[in-house]
């Protein structure tokens, strides 16, 4: 898996510290784009598949209907992105 240059990755974990999703920020001409991926609690988390989905959503700007498990981690992730990309 080749991540785009200047990419930030943060894994979202459940209460048992098991990874369930990922947040990704990818550099863009406007600053950065955020993408996410979240698996069902009945599925097994696969790192490569989750990163591919999140990067695809970040590149195409498809962040509609973001689940609560992801959105509660979003404010801290945005602060991290602002510091990293100096926006």
Residue 54 CB neighbours (<10 A): 25
**Continuous segment of H or E residues that includes residue 78:** helix 74-85
Average pLDDT estimate for 7-33 = 94
Residue 19 has pLDDT above 90, yes or no: yes
- The β-bridge relationship of strands 31-38 and 7-13 is unpaired
pLDDT of 4: 87
Vertex 77: Cα angle to 73 and 78 (nearest 5): 120
pLDDT of 18: 92
Summarize pLDDT for 21-72 with one digit per residue, the tens. 999 999 999 899 999 999 988 999 999 999 999 999 998 877 778 899 999 9
């Amino acid at each position: 898996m080749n991540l785009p240059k200047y990419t930030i990755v943060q894994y979202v974990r459940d209460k048992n510290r098991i990874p369930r999703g990922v947040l990704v920020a990818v550099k863009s001409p406007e600053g950065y784009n955020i993408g996410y991926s979240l698996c069902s609690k009945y599925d097994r988390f696969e790192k490569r598949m989750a990163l591919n989905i999140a990067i695809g959503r970040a590149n195409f700007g498809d962040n509609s209907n973001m689940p609560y498990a992801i959105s509660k981690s979003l404010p801290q992730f945005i602060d991290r992105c602002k510091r990293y990309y100096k926006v």
